[in-house]
């Protein structure tokens, strides 16, 4: 994996909270804690510079969400962008959904490279002309101008969630999408903002009986009636919207029996699923809990078909990680375009890739020192035993403040985006 | 002994997290607090089930029983899961501790040995409780621990729950507000400043103080006292809840009360039989939830725990209390 020129985009101000490629990989969107969205666009490869793959440069920046205050409940609503999801492109403009804890917004990002000139009633500065002075009429014409990218909010989907939104997912019908909070999932139509359908509600009548919450949800990539949601208890439910209006009863229930030898105070926390993703094929789902990534076959509910240890050396440190709140970190996971490799983040700015076919895995680091342009990333290794080799890093030296929670993989090429706190790293794989 | 200290530490840390969650930006996060409450419950169970409490390590590691499915294993629960007639080695040891910690002669740990239980207490007291608790019994492995606790506390609570009028306990719980004001007889409500709960109805006898006094002197009472260790925890939470039927809010408001809950009810926590069984199914999710009708099983008044002899033995918890 290599680091092309100028691929580190950092804002000292804000921590990146979500990263997402669009369906073609031409655009890469990031959301941050300050409610801003920054979109990068890949430069077209030019014939003159064959050796230079397209780089990603800033295309558009806009403020998606602002801090709000709910006066009724005396609650401040954070502007942090929890998720961004792109819509497939259907015309010249790009559309994306971005959400904070309470409100989902549909943004239209469009280019303007022409502007009309030659108005009759206003002059070029925009000042109104005195109609009495007009002696002739002309037809305004469009003249080229410097490219301007503008983002406008086209829809605001608000007031539908009592709890904090953790996921949004666009349906394959491109007409609907869902938003999920801790206890409920709502189905929206893009055109209708003042109502949504509640399709999952796990809030118990007696809140004291609450034992689990929804942690992530996603639509099947191909079947518009199917979606999954994961829970804090480490289970995944697959639901079919054709079965009933309210999908409280699942069609499939994925759960792996707990290993009794691993029980501790923190067993429940580390089994909570932080992310769930369908494979591009729609045949598998991948889940991330605190220490592992698991791949499940939709046709087998009683256990995953693959389990990958991300950083099992942390298992003996759970108490410290509980104290410093790291145990609550929500790592995401991603598939590559062909579903053959999966990737997820870890601490010390490490991220891990697992090749499902060769069963090989690699640990890489996203850091400025190691990422000179064109530099090849060196695999890293964490030493768990006594003797530490020269290039290894010991568990106790890991920096837990440097965590990689959000990563993204280009839909068809080996280009990855890795968010390390407030820096975004983009790496490309040079096959030749 | 080590895991008791560990459990203590984890409880303190967890309470701190819940406390801090009140002031964090964006409101209380339900997911995180649910997880913290699960840890809190596990640690508390370990702490309470550990015979080595208050510095008197009488049972020793052997008291935990041979096969321990989970580290650290709550010995009492372990025993409950085994044959009732087989107390773990050293089982009799905790008794002196209990009597030293309580002013009541009846050893609370008698409830832990089913054969020693007075007739009627040996049975699972689930029947006496509302369906809420009964449902908790046949649940997943994790619930197993709670179920046994239910047994224990239900046994001890049977004494109190059985003797009190059904409406007594709820009323007692009601009056046992967060400060555990030891209200004079007949005026629990006024002193506690608790919000009246319409669902409990107005015409409730004031059992709080009479029960307290009886508990001090009578053998049966203490069992109830022990069981009610849990009720004060629940009560303040409930009092702070909105009445049902209100516009739905994010129900994490009670997190704010949890610190006071634990601050004032540590004496209850230290009583070996945790909770009147009510906490069994819910664990510490209480801080996030509404408390609906409580069954009569676990209702013991909180003010009981203001007794000085009990408070003297609260040293292990003093740091936690001071912190909050």
B39 touches chain A (CB under 8 A): yes
Say if the Cβ atoms of A206 and B289 lie within 8 Å: yes
In this predicted structure, the answer to whether residue B90 has a pLDDT above a threshold of 60 is: no
Query: Is the model more confident about A98 or about B164?
Result: A98
Closest CA to A213 of A183, A253, A258: A183
A428 DSSP β-pair partners: A2, A415
- Looking at residue A10, its pLDDT comes to 57
pLDDT at B136 over 80: no
**% of chain A with per-residue pLDDT over 70:** 94
Average pLDDT of span B234-243 = 38
Q: pLDDT for A163-207, tens place per residue?
A: 999 999 999 999 999 999 999 999 999 999 999 999 999 999 998
Alpha carbons B175 and B184: distance in angstroms, whole number? 11
Mean local confidence (pLDDT), B162-188: 41
- A269 contacts in B (CB within 8 Å)? 35, 38-39
Q: Find the CB nearest B248 among A162, A260, A325.
A: A162
Among residues 233-252 of chain A, which lie with CB inside 8 Å of chain B?
Answer: none
Q: How far apart are CA A185 and CA A206, in angstroms?
A: 19
Give the Cα separation of B139 and B147 in Å (integer): 9
Give CA A141 to chain center in angstroms: 42
Are the beta carbons of B31 and A213 separated by less than 8 Å?
A: yes
A87-101, A358-372, A389-403, B216-230 — most confident range: A87-101
DSSP character for A162? Answer: S
- What is the pLDDT, as a whole number, of residue A46? 67
* Residue B287: closest C-alpha in chain A: A208
Taking the mean position of all CA atoms in its chain, how far away is CA B253?
Answer: 21
Predicted confidence (pLDDT) at residue B114 exceeds the cutoff of 70: no
Cα of A246 to nearest chain B Cα, Å: 20
Confidence at B25, pLDDT banded by 50, 70, 90: confident
Spatial neighbors of B92 by CB under 8 A, at least 6 apart, are none
Chain B residue with CA closest to A209: the answer is B282
**Rounded mean pLDDT of chain A?**
91
Closest among B59, B17, B53 to B317, alpha carbons compared: B53
State what percent of residues in chain B have pLDDT above 70.
Answer: 15
Q: Which of A286-290, A380-384, B165-169, B193-197 has the largest mean confidence?
A: A286-290
Cα B27 to Cα B37: distance, rounded to the nearest angstrom: 17
Decide if A184 touches B, using CB distance below 8 A.
no
Q: What is the mean pLDDT of residues B147-152?
A: 42
**A184 in Cβ contact with A213 (< 8 Å):** no
- Using the beta-carbon criterion (under 8 Å), do B38 and A258 form an inter-chain contact? no
pLDDT > 60? residue A8: no
Question: Is residue A410 over pLDDT 90?
Answer: yes
3-state secondary structure chain B: CHHHHHHHHHHHHHHHHHHHHCCCCCCCCHHHHHHHHHHHHHHHHHHHHCCCECCECCCCHHHHCCCCCCCCCCHHHHHHHCCCCCCCCCCCCHHHHHHHHCCCCCCHHHHHCHHHCCCCCCCCHHHHCCHHHHHHCCCCHHHHHHHHHHHHHHHHHHHHHHHCCCCHHHHHHHHCCCCCCCCCCCCHHHHHCCCCCHHHCCCCCCCHHHHHHHHHHCCHHHHHHHHCCCHHHHHHHHHCCCCCCCCCCCCCCCHHHHHHHHHHHHHHHHCCCCCCCHHHHHHHHHHHCCCCCCCHHHCCCHHHHHCHHHHHCCHHHHHHHHHC
CB contact under 8 A, A328 and B35: yes
Are B181 and B173 in contact by the 8 Å Cβ rule? The answer is: no
**Given CB atoms, is A207 within the 8 Å cutoff of chain B?**
yes
pLDDT in tens, A62-72: 999 999 998 88
**Rounded mean pLDDT, A47-71:** 83
Option in B13, B281, B291 nearest A322 (CB)? B13
pLDDT (0 to 100) of residue A384: 81
* pTM given for the model: 0.66
A325 touching B, CB under 8 A? yes
How many Å apart are CA B223 and CA B108, to the nearest integer?
7
Res. A36: pLDDT tops 80: yes
CA distance A151 to A27: 14
pLDDT in tens, A328-381: 999 999 999 999 999 999 999 999 999 999 999 999 999 877 667 777 888 888
User: Residue B45: what pLDDT?
Assistant: 85
- Asked whether the predicted pLDDT for residue A278 surpasses 90, the reply is yes
Is a pLDDT exceeding 80 seen at residue B148? Answer: no
Which of A41, A28, A163, A183 is CA-nearest to residue A100?
A: A163
Q: Does B280 touch chain A (CB under 8 A)?
A: no
- Whether the pLDDT of residue B116 is over 50: the answer is no
Lowest-pLDDT choice from A238-242, B11-15, B315-319: B315-319
Confidence of residue B236 (pLDDT cuts 50, 70, 90): very low
Distance separating alpha carbons of residues A22 and A273, to the nearest angstrom = 25
> Cα separation of A179 and A141, whole Å?
44
Selected residue with higher pLDDT from B64 and A430: A430
Q: How confident is the model at residue B123 (pLDDT cuts 50, 70, 90)?
A: very low
At A312 the pLDDT is 94
Tell me the per-residue pLDDT of B35-83, one tens digit each, with 9 for 90 and over: 999 999 888 888 888 665 444 444 444 443 344 444 444 444 444 444 4
- Residue A263 pLDDT class (50, 70, 90 cuts): confident
Residue of A nearest to B28 (CA): A75
CB B220 within 8 A of CB B157: no
To which H or E segment does residue A315 belong?
Answer: none
């Amino acid at each position: 994996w290599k680091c092309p020129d100028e691929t580190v985009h950092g804002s000292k101000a804000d921590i990146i909270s979500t990263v997402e490629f669009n369906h073609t990989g031409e655009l890469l969107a990031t959301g941050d804690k300050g409610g801003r969205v920054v979109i990068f666009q890949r430069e077209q490869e030019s014939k003159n510079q064959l050796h230079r793959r397209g780089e990603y440069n800033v295309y558009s920046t806009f403020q998606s969400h602002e801090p709000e205050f709910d006066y009724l409940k005396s609650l401040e609503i954070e502007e942090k962008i929890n998720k961004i999801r792109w819509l497939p492109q259907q015309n010249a403009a790009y559309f994306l959904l971005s959400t904070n804890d309470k409100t989902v917004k549909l943004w239209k990002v469009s280019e303007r490279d022409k502007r009309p000139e030659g108005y009759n009633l206003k002059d070029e500065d925009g000042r109104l002309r005195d109609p009495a002075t007009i002696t002739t009429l002309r037809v305004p014409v469009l003249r080229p101008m410097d490219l301007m990218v503008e983002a406008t909010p086209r829809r605001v989907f608000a007031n539908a969630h009592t709890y904090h939104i953790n996921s949004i997912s666009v349906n394959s019908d491109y007409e609907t999408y869902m938003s999920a909070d801790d206890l409920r999932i709502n189905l929206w139509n893009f055109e209708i903002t003042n109502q949504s359908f509640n399709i999952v509600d796990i809030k118990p009548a007696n809140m004291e009986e609450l034992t689990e919450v929804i942690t992530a949800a996603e639509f099947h990539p191909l079947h518009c009636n199917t979606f999954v949601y994961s829970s804090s208890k480490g289970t995944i439910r697959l639901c079919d919207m054709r079965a009933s209006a309210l999908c409280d009863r699942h069609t499939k229930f994925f759960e792996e029996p707990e290993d009794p030898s691993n029980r501790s105070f923190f067993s429940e926390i580390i089994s909570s699923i932080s992310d769930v993703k369908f494979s591009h094929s729609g045949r598998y789902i991948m889940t991330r809990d605190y220490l592992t990534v698991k791949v499940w076959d939709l046709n087998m509910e009683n256990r995953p078909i693959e389990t990958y240890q991300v950083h099992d050396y942390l298992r003996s440190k759970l108490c410290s990680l509980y104290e410093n709140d790291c145990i609550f970190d929500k790592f995401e996971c991603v598939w590559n375009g062909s579903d053959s490799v999966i990737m997820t983040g870890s601490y010390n700015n490490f991220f891990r890739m697992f090749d499902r076919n060769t069963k090989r895995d690699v640990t890489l680091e996203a850091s400025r020192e190691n990422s000179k342009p064109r530099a090849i990333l060196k695999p890293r290794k964490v030493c768990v035993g006594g003797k530490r080799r020269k290039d290894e890093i010991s568990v106790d030296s890991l920096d837990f403040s440097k965590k990689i929670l959000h990563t993204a993989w280009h839909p068809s090429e080996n280009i990855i985006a890795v968010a390390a706190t407030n820096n975004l790293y983009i790496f490309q794989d040079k096959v030749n | 002994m080590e895991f008791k200290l560990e459990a203590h530490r984890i409880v303190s840390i967890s309470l701190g997290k819940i406390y801090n969650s009140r002031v964090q930006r964006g409101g209380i996060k339900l997911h995180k607090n649910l997880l913290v409450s699960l840890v809190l419950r596990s640690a508390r169970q370990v702490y309470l089930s550990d015979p080595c409490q208050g510095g008197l390590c009488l049972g020793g590691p052997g008291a935990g029983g041979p096969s321990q499915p989970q580290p650290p294993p709550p010995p009492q629960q372990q025993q409950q899961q085994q044959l009732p007639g087989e107390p773990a080695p050293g089982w009799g040891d905790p008794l002196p501790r209990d009597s030293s910690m309580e002013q009541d002669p009846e050893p609370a740990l008698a409830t832990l040995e089913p054969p020693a239980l007075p007739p009627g207490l040996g049975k699972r007291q689930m029947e006496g409780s509302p369906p809420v608790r009964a449902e908790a019994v046949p649940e997943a492995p994790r619930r197993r621990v709670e179920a046994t606790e239910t047994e224990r506390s239900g046994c001890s609570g049977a004494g109190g729950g059985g003797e009190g009028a059904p409406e007594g306990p709820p009323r007692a719980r009601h009056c046992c507000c967060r400060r555990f004001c030891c209200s004079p007889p007949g005026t629990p409500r006024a002193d506690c400043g608790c919000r009246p709960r319409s669902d409990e109805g107005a015409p409730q006898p004031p059992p709080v103080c009479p029960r307290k006094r009886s508990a001090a002197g009578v053998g049966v009472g203490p069992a109830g006292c022990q069981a009610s260790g849990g009720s004060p925890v629940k009560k303040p939470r409930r009092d702070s809840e909105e009445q049902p039927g209100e516009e739905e809010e994010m129900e994490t408001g009670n997190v704010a009360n949890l610190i006071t809950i634990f601050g004032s009810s540590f004496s209850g926590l230290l009583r070996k039989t945790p909770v009147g069984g009510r906490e069994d199914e819910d664990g510490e999710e209480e801080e996030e939830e509404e408390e609906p009708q409580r069954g009569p099983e676990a209702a013991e008044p909180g003010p009981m725990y203001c007794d000085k002899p009990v408070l003297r033995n609260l040293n292990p918890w003093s740091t936690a209390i001071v912190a909050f």
